[in-house]
Structure 1
Amino acid sequence: MSKPFTEPETSTTFSQRLGELAKLFLKLGMLGFGGPQAHIAMENDEVVVRRHWLTPEQFAEGLAVCEMLPGPASTQMGIYIGYVRAGQIGAVVAGLCFIAPAFLIVVALSWAYFRFQRVPQLEAIFLGISPVVTAIILAFCWKLGKKAIRDWKRAAIAIAVFGVTLFTSLSVLIQFVLAGLVGLYWFRPSGRGQFQGWWLPPLPLLVANLPAETLTLGSFWGLERINDFFWPLTLFFLKVGSFIFGGGLVIIPLLEFEVVEQLHWLTRTEFINGVAIGQLSPGPVVLTAAFVGYKVAGVLGALTAAVAIFAPSFAFIMLAAPLLLRIRQNLWIRAFLQGVTPAVLGAIAAAAIPLAQAALDQPTGVASLAAGLIGLGAGVALIRYKVPTWQLVPLGAIAGWAVGTAL
């Protein structure tokens, strides 16, 4: 593991390094469309090829660690770069500057969505966006399945989690832990071994009084609600941020089960449109959390949710960086993750079904057919032609607007 910066170089002072990190990651945060792989490619180009802040080996080392950890890998890679470049403060600066532009965009779009939610033109736009988001989720399942399902054991875990998620109310997080324990048994190291490294138990599940109806929208700033919802939002999104294994879209089943089915903070339609808004921003899709927080308690709720969901990523990189490579090589931890990965696939696939139903549930049969065709076209574009998701969402909006205008 590369050591953090401790002594200023003769060419740049510590404050100059912080300024360089802030400038670079603000730029990446504003221009980083295309998903996590595009983000990581841009980071590699900027810090390895152009600026020579990291060697290719250092970058690959950091990326291997970030992809093992729960949380958005591209954001954690930015935090890691800041850590290597300028220590703990550099990690904070790089991470915050990368997240901030997308957070502001999501908050602005959340305000516009809830302000003009019933305007016919906006409803038409989301008629096209919702099936595109469903196609993105299903295409992710297809790609993850080809990589994760390598034998009958992994297939069995995925199918079991799919069924349990679809037909029961058992928490997805509990299922992930159970799948990891199955992985410890099925994929354990050969021979007699001892558990080594750290074992982090899951955060306690949030218990809340469930409202009889879906929560109504609060004020813009959310001052009247933040006192009541600060800790529920914080504890819930800390829990979610600690279990985003396998990519940002893992947030879909984690959020859909809790905020729609259990807590009733969002309707299913609002949820899928919130995922779409997360896709429209240049940052990680986990910023959908800010959309949820805005519905619950305005801007203050959005800020609370965003801080909580990213806090584990900062903690993993900043507090445990010297130990991460050793932990990554631990065979028992790798066995646990081999159980979790197919469970992620099953949970996402199960969550996609009610979301697809919501996307296709339109006022008329013609509108439902149009939504289905848009989703089918998006799926073909993603899987067959590898069209980036950030391009498909605006195209879906245009198609939805055209259909709504025609109808």
Structure 2
Amino acid sequence: MADRSPLLELAALFLTLGTVGFGGPQAHLAMMEEAVVQHRQWLTPEEFSEGVALCEMLPGPASTQMGIYIGYRRAGWLGGVVSGVCFIAPAFAIVVALAWAYFRFQTVPTVQDLFLGAAPAVTAIITAFCLRLSQRVLKEPLHWGLAIAALILTLSEAIPVFLVLVLAGAISWLWAKRSQAAWLPLLPAAIGPTDFWGWSQWPERSGPLFRFFLETGTFVFGGGLVIIPLLQQQVVQQWQWLTAQQFVDGVAIGQLSPGPVVLTAAFIGFAVAGLSGAATATFGIFLPSFLFILLAAPLLQRLRQNQGIQQFLRGVSPAVLGAIAATLWPLARPSLQSDQLSILLFSLLLFAGNLVALVRWKRPTWQVVLVGIGLGFAIGPLL
């Protein structure tokens, strides 16, 4: 039988990941690594780590950019566009549907029980990913030191993650040069849509909406929850597109959907100008990610054979591990600090079972997520 088109393969994979990709960017990266390195062998472990490092050092949502990067490596520029759009599309549809329900009924559906099992499942996915990554990148004491330092700096939020990665790469490069030099330099009023489609508001509001989200996607490093304070300041205080409570509810909807957290932009856009506003905001915030990756990926491929670049990337990879590991505590903390012993025990048992399923039985990550959500929905009301 003839091979499937690479574009169809990319579309099928990233539509699936975009549908079951609960848990934020680090969970997305873990799912992508399992799919394209472990299962399909589209990238080597080293190439995947280099791609993650590139995406973490660029502004915008890292997991979306990694999807674009994988698509580019598999099928060129068109592959990058297909994978990025397919990764975003399912969550966009879910956020728009929830935004419509929110502004129609002025409430957010109660889904606590549904997502009770999601956090342990996602924590297990990220833990398994860190275990696999550590076997590949922690090859000497320097790498251990860089990983631990990145873990501490990321947890403390002392400096942005992209600066942690740049510093780690620079230290690795300088360390490799130590035998060639005798010195080591010191490193220094709310609105809502009047109709679902929003055509009546779109001509007036599309310009400010697109410009704001284009600037946000271009200049904000870190993606995900990093952009939430900026959005709150501009959307609530300056533009007054949402009330403070509507903004909080919009962030919650963005987090409850699969795919990138920055799809909170779709909720804001829907509030401003219905479906057309949601599409405008989403296009604006993700356009820089497509441009950055499709321009930077070819450059990385040309430079990766350079010895200095290789030394830099060898330092970045352990720092990526440390930064990803730092997300485990914030994710697990709500369950571990629960006042209810039953919820704590349920979370610990589900985490352990998921970790065994991933590491020992090699189960796909999407199965782990769906089982976790299903168990949370079934058992949650009893806890």
Q: TM-score range by the shorter chain?
A: 0.5 to 0.7
Residues 146 and 318 in structure 2, CA contact (< 8 A), matched pair in contact too? yes
Say which of 93, 98, 120 aligns to 1:131.
Answer: 120
* Aligned residue-pair number: 316
Aligned to 1:51: none
Q: Distance in 2 between matches of 1:370 and 1:95?
A: 40
Aligned to 1:102: 87
> Residue 155 of structure 2: SS of its match in structure 1?
helix
Say which of 303, 309, 321 aligns to 1:333.
Answer: 309
* Residue 316 (1) aligns with residue 316 (2): no
Q: Distance in 1 between matches of 2:205 and 2:326?
A: 32
Q: Distance in 1 between matches of 2:305 and 2:228?
A: 38
Q: Distance in 2 between matches of 1:293 and 1:269?
A: 9
* Residue 35 (1) aligns with residue 32 (2): yes
Partner AA of 1:293 in structure 2 = A
Residue 255 of structure 1 and its aligned partner are, at CA, apart by 3.7
Residue 177 of structure 1 and its aligned partner are, at CA, apart by 1.4
Q: Distance in 2 between matches of 1:400 and 1:273?
A: 20
Residues 184 and 332 in structure 1, CA contact (< 8 A), matched pair in contact too? yes
Residue 105 of structure 1 and its aligned partner are, at CA, apart by 0.5
CA separation of 1:405/1:375 partners in 2, compared to 1, >3 Å: closer, same or farther? same
Partner AA of 2:284 in structure 1 = T
Residue 388 of structure 1 and its aligned partner are, at CA, apart by 1.1
Q: Distance in 2 between matches of 1:187 and 1:290?
A: 38
Residues 229 and 296 in structure 1, CA contact (< 8 A), matched pair in contact too? no
Instruction: List runs of 5+ in structure 1 lacking aligned partners.
Output: 1-19, 45-58, 84-90, 193-215, 244-253, 279-287
Residue 80 of structure 1 and its aligned partner are, at CA, apart by 4.3
Partner AA of 2:283 in structure 1 = L
Residue 325 of structure 1 and its aligned partner are, at CA, apart by 4.5
Residue 395 of structure 1 and its aligned partner are, at CA, apart by 0.5
Residue 396 of structure 1 and its aligned partner are, at CA, apart by 0.7
CA separation of 1:23/1:273 partners in 2, compared to 1, >3 Å: closer, same or farther? closer
* Residue 291 (1) aligns with residue 263 (2): yes
Residues 127 and 400 in structure 1, CA contact (< 8 A), matched pair in contact too? yes
Summarize deviations over 1:42-72 as a string: whole Å, max 9, x none.
Answer: 877xxxxxxxxxxxxxx889x9867634245
TM-score by length of 2: 0.67
CA separation of 1:170/1:98 partners in 2, compared to 1, >3 Å: closer, same or farther? closer
Residues 269 and 358 in structure 1, CA contact (< 8 A), matched pair in contact too? no
Residue 217 of structure 1 and its aligned partner are, at CA, apart by 11
Alignment of 1:39-54 (within 5 A): 39=36
Residues 370 and 403 in structure 1, CA contact (< 8 A), matched pair in contact too? no
> Residue 358 of structure 1: SS of its match in structure 2?
helix
The root-mean-square deviation of aligned C-alpha atoms, in Å, is 4.0
Partner AA of 1:336 in structure 2 = F
Aligned to 1:402: 378
* Residue 162 (1) aligns with residue 151 (2): yes
Residue 332 of structure 1 and its aligned partner are, at CA, apart by 0.6
Partner AA of 2:50 in structure 1 = M
CA separation of 1:331/1:264 partners in 2, compared to 1, >3 Å: closer, same or farther? farther
Instruction: List runs of 5+ in structure 2 lacking aligned partners.
Output: 21-30, 56-64, 182-189, 234-246, 271-277
Q: Distance in 1 between matches of 2:139 and 2:146?
A: 12
Aligned to 1:274: 255
Partner AA of 2:171 in structure 1 = V
Alignment of 1:190-229 (within 5 A): 191=180
> Residue 173 of structure 1: SS of its match in structure 2?
helix
> Residue 126 of structure 1: SS of its match in structure 2?
coil
Q: Distance in 2 between matches of 1:307 and 1:99?
A: 10
Residues 36 and 74 in structure 1, CA contact (< 8 A), matched pair in contact too? no
Summarize deviations over 1:244-269 as a string: whole Å, max 9, x none.
Answer: xxxxxxxxxx3466235776698799
Alignment of 1:48-67 (within 5 A): none
Summarize deviations over 1:245-298 as a string: whole Å, max 9, x none.
Answer: xxxxxxxxx3466235776698799679738712xxxxxxxxx15524334544
Aligned to 1:14: none
Residues 128 and 359 in structure 2, CA contact (< 8 A), matched pair in contact too? yes
CA separation of 1:218/1:225 partners in 2, compared to 1, >3 Å: closer, same or farther? farther
Aligned to 2:59: none
Partner AA of 2:263 in structure 1 = F
Say which of 76, 83, 91 aligns to 2:69.
Answer: 76
Q: Distance in 2 between matches of 1:272 and 1:385?
A: 33
Summarize deviations over 1:141-170 as a string: whole Å, max 9, x none.
Answer: 222122211121111111112112222432
TM-score by length of 1: 0.63
Aligned to 1:55: none
> Residue 156 of structure 1: SS of its match in structure 2?
helix
Q: Distance in 2 between matches of 1:165 and 1:262?
A: 19
Q: Distance in 1 between matches of 2:328 and 2:175?
A: 28
Choose 395-404 or 170-179, whichever is displaced more.
170-179
Residue 362 of structure 1 and its aligned partner are, at CA, apart by 5.0
Partner AA of 1:38 in structure 2 = A
> Residue 385 of structure 1: SS of its match in structure 2?
coil
Identity of aligned residues (%): 27
Residue 221 of structure 1 and its aligned partner are, at CA, apart by 7.7
Residue 308 of structure 1 and its aligned partner are, at CA, apart by 2.5
Aligned to 1:301: 281
Residues 155 and 342 in structure 1, CA contact (< 8 A), matched pair in contact too? yes
Alignment of 1:112-191 (within 5 A): 112=97, 115=101, 118-120=108-110, 122-188=111-177, 191=180
Residues 143 and 318 in structure 2, CA contact (< 8 A), matched pair in contact too? yes
Summarize deviations over 1:214-268 as a string: whole Å, max 9, x none.
Answer: xx9976889698756645643454467xx8xxxxxxxxxx346623577669879
Q: Distance in 1 between matches of 2:211 and 2:371?
A: 38
Alignment of 1:370-385 (within 5 A): 370-385=346-361
Residue 357 of structure 1 and its aligned partner are, at CA, apart by 0.9
Residues 133 and 393 in structure 1, CA contact (< 8 A), matched pair in contact too? yes
Partner AA of 1:96 in structure 2 = V
